A = this chain, B = another copy of it.
Amino acid sequence: MKKVRIGIIGLGNMGTGHAQYLAKGEVEGAELTAISDPRPERLQWAAETLGDGVQRYEDPEALLTSGSIDGVLICTPHYSHPELAIQAFRNSLHVLIEKPAGVHTRQVREMNEEASRSGLVFGIMYNQRTNPMYRKLREMIRQGELGEIRRLNWIITDWYRSQSYYNSGGWRASWAGEGGGVLINQAPHQLDLWQWTTGMMPKRIRAFCSFGKHRDIEVENEVTAYAEYENGATAVFITSTCETPGTNRFEVTGDRGKIVMEGGRMTFWRNEKSETEFNATYTGGFGQPEYQTVEIPLEPGEGEQHKGITKDWVQAIQSGTPLLAPGEEGIKGLMLSNAMLLSAWTDDWAELPLDEDLFYNLLQERIRTSGGVQS
């Protein structure tokens, strides 16, 4: 089978990582044939590390129209993901974008529409979907092991970032440069897994954000969000970049028991009767269903992560297999993120689907007065 010729736009932290495993031939069926980056030092790095077999462009458009690639990894700053993806689709290229899908859902919706028209393979780098623990959670929920979901609680506060991290780039943690803070940069993985593992999107969100807490930055770096679902379930999502050592604990409670994921372990408390059945038949006053406590065995490690997503995307291009992380699904986590900011900005509920124009307008106000460097 002919190899998929891959280009990479943007040789920052993520793009460099992708270039290295692709250049080493670690993704079967794929070859890295071109990159683009406007920065001379990154192009020099590419020349020295990747060699002249990989074409180099300053300008992404030159790469997209070069005819030297079949698909492209977009690893640029957040704002540009949708625009570059749309250009790529118009050049008949398959696309794999880094997370987040974009900064606001309006631009991401346009990207998704273009992807759909193109019929090309569109993926997003939700590498945490390769983690065996979250895959297992999704499978167990889909198989009904927990029964109807009642409550979710994710404390994901281990995204510690010091002031020196924020100072390392003028675009960092600014409305103009990144369009948000922890919700757009660090927590998009958990915002994706939150809805991907459970298959549920909230109907409304009430969130509380701290902007520049203990840090000299513009954007949110601590968030507590409360969500309500159509079936009556509720959820709390807490994230922070300014506490240490943080926590990563996801608790999912259902009619038939509870699963807690923390410290790489996954524990299932399985009710012998569902809560609904127990409650309907029990006559003893105090009392609750019997349960078993089960440690769920997991494949060791966190899965193939970034490389796994790239492999999956290449396989989809070659064989038409379904994607683990379809690009169109990027809008879901982003909508949760946008809803949290909107709720905090308006000090009110944010209903879903989101009022995209209101979010867009309030974001533009912040960009206009932002001290950050546009990226």
Contact = CB atoms under 8 A, between A and B. Distances in A.
A275 B232 contact: no
Given A247-B251, A291-B245, A240 B286 contact: no
A97 interface: no
Interface in A248-289: 251, 253, 257-258, 260, 269, 271, 275-276, 278-280, 282-289
Interface in A184-243: 206, 208, 210, 213-215, 222, 224, 226, 228, 232, 234, 236, 238, 240, 242-243
A374 interface: no
A324 interface: no
A164 interface: yes
A222 B234 contact: yes
Contacts of A284: 162, 164
Given A163-B279, A208-B226, A288 B253 contact: no
- Give the interface residue-count category, chain A: 35 or more
A285 B168 contact: yes
Nearest to A235: B224
Given A271-B244, A288-B162, A153 B151 contact: no
Contact of A285 (B164, B215, B260): B164
A165 B286 contact: yes
Interface string A129-156: 0000000000000000000001101010
A155 B250 CA distance: 12
Given A206-B208, A214-B276, A284-B164, A245 B269 contact: yes
A157 interface: yes
A171 interface: no
Interface in A322-347: none
Contact of A236 (B165, B232, B236, B269): B236
A240 B253 CA distance: 12
Contacts of A242: 150, 275, 279
A224 B222 contact: no
A360 interface: no
B283 A251 contact: no
A160 interface: yes
With most chain B CB atoms within 10 A of its CB, the pick from A165, A213, A280, A291 is: A165
A240 B157 contact: no
Contact of A258 (B150, B164, B247, B283): B247
Given A160-B288, A245-B271, 7 more contacts: A150-B242, A162-B279, A164-B287, A214-B275, A243-B275, A245-B288, A245-B289
Interface of A: 150-151, 153, 155, 157, 160-165, 168, 206, 208, 210, 213-215, 222, 224, 226, 228, 232, 234, 236, 238, 240, 242-245, 247, 251, 253, 257-258, 260, 269, 271, 275-276, 278-280, 282-289, 291
12 contacts: A150-B243, A151-B157, A160-B288, A162-B279, A163-B279, A164-B283, A168-B285, A242-B279, A243-B253, A244-B278, A244-B291, A245-B291
